Structure 1
Amino acid sequence: MTVASPYARELARMPVTTRVETLAGSDTHLWEYGASGLDEAAREAATTAVVVVHGFRGDHHGLEPVIAQLDEPGMRIVAPDLPGFGASTPLAVTHDIDGYATWAKALVASVRAQSPAARIVVIGHSFGSIVVSAALAGEGDGGALEADDIVLINPIAAPALAGPRGFMTRLAIGYYRFSAAVPEKLGFAILRSGLVVQIMSSTMAKTKDKGLRRWIHDQHHRYFSAFANRSVVLDAFRASVSHDVSEYAARIHAPVLMIAADRDDITPVAAQYSVQKTIPGAELVIIEGVGHLIHYERPVEAADAIRSYLARS
């Protein structure tokens, strides 16, 4: 039984269109939110274009609670499924940081071409924060990603093994290694295990609201295992634990807003401040009482921080 979204009313007010673009070899499925994405003329007239890059193993649904709070006149919001996840087909190359950075640059370039007068804002959550940062630093093909403003939500600001729950990361590495070692069919089934998804969801959720926790678990069970094949998810996992934003911070020159959490099990707050100091002019907002699921538990505060930043930037 599907659990109703606490943000369904806001989402229902937003027009949504879907389309497919071939980017870096991936037939990338895109969801566009707001009246400025309805057709070619509306896209061309958009004053702000927001590109949203979700985290590891998720799809575009994950950031919908934040998207639902951002609808404004003239704003075009583009939310793709990462290549190999959700409805998008895999990349033509390995699903490593270079591959995803190349794809991100192609995506943003496409959005810019369709909305030539728009302010380009790129939002990356969790693994998406690594992808966006790598693209900004010029990793992958095609130079550096060009955008007017960057927002990183729950940025992975330090190596995952150095996080508050490095032991949990080591367990995850063992889990993925075992899934890679067994025969393909068994490995695929292990990767999609509902028990593992439930453990992950229960560990990351910090809210004591039972209804909200139930919805978060439902979201993870519905969307966390939508990946094309075993190779994609294993390659993406290696990329997610082998890189972090701090690796690219000194080469990021776009204006950046970081939205972090004081109870994040993956990145300690001290590492967030360290990365903020490394990125010239970066701003950091810490949301208290939440962990790695700001997009589910505190999307209103995240959206408020984004709107305030864009108004000042």
Structure 2
Amino acid sequence: MTTKKEKPALLFVHGFRGNHFGLEEVITKFKDLGYPVYAPDIPPAFNTQSEKLPTLKNFTAEGYATWIADYILDKNLDRPILIGHSMGSIIAAATAEKYPNLINEKIFFLSPISEHTPKFISTIIPLIAFIPNKLISFIVTKYLIGTMGKPHFKQILDTTMLCAKKFTSISDEIKAAKFSVKHAISDFNFTKTCFLLQEGKTG
């Protein structure tokens, strides 16, 4: 008698100004396929779910990697597959470098930050404190959306605004923004089988 092999847990790591709402469609599809799926709201996102989350001590690569590691340990997850979206790709890469034994040999990067953001961006980040939330959502969506996403701009913008309704604080949002423009996934040294998905292509 053979037993059906259990599918590995999937741990989604959302991007800047995101939370689990932005990944609900793909999360639902994986759940329907029988995968155990975890998608915590990671600071500066406000925790909109009932689960208890670790405390993020620093908005740094090490701080975020430790947060993910603590989450994995708290949930008793058996080497989940990390799926990092946008800024979440940086967090996933940092986790793969610092805690390789806690995660699966496969790691997925969705619309990853593969190149460093122009340095001047970091100098204007503090302006976030003075710009209306809706305008920030519009700018972020316009900047990050790919060619294939343009026909769905309104839908993507609505999702972005839904995700960005509430943060732990403006200060935390600024710290996270500075973190996101400081790094790219190429900054981290790890040995995993990586899958990059962007603009409808994989590699």
- Give the TM-score band, short-chain normalised: 0.7 to 0.9
Corresponding residue for 2:108?
151
Task: Tell me how far apart the structure 2 counterparts of residues 90 and 229 of structure 1 sit (CA, whole Å).
Answer: 17
Moved over 6 A (4+): none
Corresponding residue for 1:303?
none
SS in 1 for 2:24: helix
SS in 2 for 1:83: coil
Corresponding residue for 2:122?
173
1:49–1:120: 8 Å Cα contact kept in structure 2?
Answer: yes
Corresponding residue for 2:155?
215
1:176–1:191: 8 Å Cα contact kept in structure 2?
Answer: no
Asked which structure has the greater RCO (Cα within 8 Å, sep 6+), the reply is 2
Cα deviation, residue 147, structure 1:
1.7
Cα deviation, residue 73, structure 1:
5.1
Corresponding residue for 2:173?
233
1:86–1:223: 8 Å Cα contact kept in structure 2?
Answer: no
**What whole-Å deviation, never above 9, does each CA across 1:43-91 have from its counterpart, x for those lacking one?**
xx95321100000111111112222322345410011000231326883
Number of matched pairs: 192
Corresponding residue for 1:53?
13
Corresponding residue for 1:137?
97
Q: Which has the higher strand share?
A: 1
Cα deviation, residue 195, structure 1:
2.2
Pair 1:105–1:90, CA change in 2 (3 A): closer
- What percentage of residue pairs aligned between the two structures are identical? 25
Pair 1:199–1:234, CA change in 2 (3 A): closer
Query: What is the one-letter code of the residue matched to 1:285?
Result: T
Cα deviation, residue 200, structure 1:
2.8
5 Å-filtered alignment, 1:187-226, equals 187=129, 190-205=130-145, 206=147, 207-209=149-151, 212-226=152-166
Corresponding residue for 1:285?
202
Corresponding residue for 2:197?
259
Corresponding residue for 1:123?
83
Task: Tell me how far apart the structure 2 counterparts of residues 73 and 48 of structure 1 sit (CA, whole Å).
Answer: 12
**What whole-Å deviation, never above 9, does each CA across 1:170-201 have from its counterpart, x for those lacking one?**
3x43432334xxxxxxx2xx254322322332
TM-score (normalizing by structure 2): 0.80
Task: Tell me how far apart the structure 2 counterparts of residues 215 and 64 of structure 1 sit (CA, whole Å).
Answer: 13
Query: What is the one-letter code of the residue matched to 2:80?
Result: I
Corresponding residue for 2:39?
79
1:58–1:86: 8 Å Cα contact kept in structure 2?
Answer: no
Pair 1:91–1:257, CA change in 2 (3 A): same
1:83–1:90: 8 Å Cα contact kept in structure 2?
Answer: no
| Residue of structure 1 aligned with 2:67, choices 91, 97, 103 | 103
2:141–2:156: 8 Å Cα contact kept in structure 1?
Answer: yes
Q: Which runs of 5+ in 2 are unaligned?
A: none
RMSD: 2.7
1:105–1:145: 8 Å Cα contact kept in structure 2?
Answer: no
Corresponding residue for 1:30?
none
**What whole-Å deviation, never above 9, does each CA across 1:81-111 have from its counterpart, x for those lacking one?**
0023132688352222211110011122334
Cα deviation, residue 151, structure 1:
0.7
Task: Tell me how far apart the structure 2 counterparts of residues 90 and 77 of structure 1 sit (CA, whole Å).
Answer: 18
TM-score (normalizing by structure 1): 0.54
Task: Tell me how far apart the structure 2 counterparts of residues 73 and 102 of structure 1 sit (CA, whole Å).
Answer: 29
**What whole-Å deviation, never above 9, does each CA across 1:156-175 have from its counterpart, x for those lacking one?**
112112xxxxxxx73x4343
